[in-house]
């Protein structure tokens, strides 16, 4: 830190994203990207015609894309908020709704960005322990008198909770925002978006980065009551009113028009998830039941850190966290069936060496 930086950031520990090697030598199963490229229509949408208009600012209201999203979810455009990746939406939400009087609670094992935003905006945060097997008991999150943030399915465990559980939490916290991060909802989970009509304290965050093969495009969105969306807009217009660029806006619309293509990919990923889980279990691995495009798994004979390093040495990248509660585990993104076969072969090789 230089001597010019504000002292209030002296203790801030920035988020560390997963490795993004630029040589593409790896089977990349470490950051939950889709193994499938964007749909053909998306390539065209980002083509020369839209590039030729880059001298003009994009629509700051993102009307066309918000309208499309509203139609897809059966809500109004006023219930839709656009962000430069859902990380930006999370940042705006922490800024808008949390402070010393409105602290936040989230699971102790969850998305690593939540504690970073709490620290960045100097919001007291409570990390609620999960139960055995990383099970989230909704009763642990009811009536805390705090804003609540829950990823559903959770990251990095893949476990999902039911819409009924979410409704129980919403009802217990009418004076606080309940943010449900549905980054992975389209791999088999049940979305709570319909509840935004009933609960004005519910904010659902979604992203184009996983199910919609657009991690490099940086597009996320929120769905909520008009009141919460207006609050987020106030923050957005005070930060960066043109947060979605023209190419991404066009690409986002083409993506939604190609929904069948992405549903098909999701089906294949879910099949590869079941296959990988089954093969790992034959090798003695314990895997948390996942409704996401990744699995959280551990091997009785090889600790998580060693497995990560041994796989990396063999050209397969997975994610491991050096934290006591989850140090035994690795998170493995589900790629194509072919990628998962490479991963499984390398695992078998490593286990042979460990005997």
Ligand X SMILES: *Cc1c(COP(=O)(O)O)cnc(C)c1O
φ, ψ of residue 5 in degrees (nearest 5):
-75, 145
Q: Which residues of 326-347 are buried (b: 16+ CB within 10 A; e: fewer)?
A: bebbbbbbbbbeebbbbbbebb
Cα separation, 326 vs 319, in Å, equals 11
Give Cα separations from 265 to 44, 192, 195, 270 (angstroms).
Answer: 20, 22, 27, 9
CB of 111 to ligand X, least distance (A): 4
Token pair 């916290």: residue: 173
Does the protein bind ligand X through residue 290 (CB under 6 A)? no
Q: Per-residue x/- mask for ligand X, residues 15 to 54, rule CB under 6 A? A: -----------------x----------------------
CB of 95 to ligand X, least distance (A): 16
For 190, half-sphere exposure in the C-beta direction (CA atoms, 13 angstrom radius) is 9
CB of 130 to ligand X, least distance (A): 15
Q: Of residues 246-285, which lie at the interface with ligand X (CB under 6 A)? A: none
CB of 109 to ligand X, least distance (A): 12
Site size with ligand X, rule: CB under 6 A: 13
Does the protein bind ligand X through residue 111 (CB under 6 A)? yes
**Which run of H or of E encompasses 40?**
helix 40-45
Helices (H), 246-289: 246-257, 259-282
Q: Per-residue x/- mask for ligand X, residues 75 to 94, rule CB under 6 A? A: ----------xxx-------
Which range binds ligand X by CB under 6 A, 137-145, 207-215, 331-339, 344-352? Answer: 207-215
Structure tokens at 46: 């980002």
Does the protein bind ligand X through residue 182 (CB under 6 A)? no
Please choose, from the candidates 81, 100, 78, 77, the residue with its C-alpha nearest in 3D space to the C-alpha of residue 91: 81
Contacting residue, 144, 215, 342, 344, with ligand X by CB under 6 A = 215
Does the protein bind ligand X through residue 151 (CB under 6 A)? yes
Does the protein bind ligand X through residue 115 (CB under 6 A)? no
Contacting residue, 220, 222, 304, 335, with ligand X by CB under 6 A = 220
Does the protein bind ligand X through residue 183 (CB under 6 A)? yes
Quick check: bond before 79 cis, omega within 30?
no
**Which residues of this chain interact with ligand X, rule CB under 6 A?**
32, 85-87, 111, 151, 155, 181, 183, 207, 209, 215, 220
């Amino acid at each position: 830190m230089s001597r010019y930086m504000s002292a209030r950031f002296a203790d801030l520990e920035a988020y560390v994203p997963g490795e993004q090697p630029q040589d593409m030598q790896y089977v990349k199963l470490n950051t939950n990207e889709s193994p499938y490229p964007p749909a053909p229509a998306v390539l065209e949408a980002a083509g020369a015609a839209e590039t030729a208009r880059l001298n003009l600012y994009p629509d700051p209201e993102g009307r066309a894309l918000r309208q499309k999203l509203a139609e897809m979810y059966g809500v109004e455009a006023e219930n839709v908020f656009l962000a430069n990746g859902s990380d930006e939406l999370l940042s705006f939400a922490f800024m808008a709704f949390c402070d010393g009087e409105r602290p936040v609670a989230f699971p102790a094992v969850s998305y690593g960005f939540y504690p970073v935003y709490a620290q960045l905006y100097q919001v007291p945060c409570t990390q609620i322990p999960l139960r055995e097997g990383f099970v989230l008991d909704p009763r642990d999150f009811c009536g805390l008198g705090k804003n609540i943030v829950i990823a559903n399915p959770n990251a990095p465990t893949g476990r999902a909770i039911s819409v009924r559980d979410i409704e129980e939490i919403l009802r217990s916290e009418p004076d606080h925002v309940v943010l449900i991060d549905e980054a992975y909802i389209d791999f088999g989970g049940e979305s709570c978006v319909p509840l935004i009509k009933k609960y004005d304290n519910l904010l659902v965050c979604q992203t184009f980065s996983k199910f919609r093969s657009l991690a490099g495009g940086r597009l996320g969105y929120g769905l909520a009551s008009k009141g919460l969306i207006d609050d987020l807009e106030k923050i957005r217009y005070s930060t960066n009113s043109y947060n979605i660029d023209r190419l991404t806006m066009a690409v986002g619309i083409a993506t939604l028009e190609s929904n069948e293509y992405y549903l098909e990919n999701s089906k294949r990923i879910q099949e590869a998830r079941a296959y990988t889980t089954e093969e790992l279990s034959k090798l003695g691995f314990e895997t948390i039941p996942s409704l996401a495009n990744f699995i959280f798994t551990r091997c009785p004979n090889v600790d998580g850190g060693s497995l990560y390093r041994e796989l990396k040495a063999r050209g397969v990248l997975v994610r491991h966290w050096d934290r006591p509660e989850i140090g035994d585990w690795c998170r493995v993104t589900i790629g194509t069936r072919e990628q998962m076969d490479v991963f499984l072969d390398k695992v078998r090789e490593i286990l042979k060496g460990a005997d």
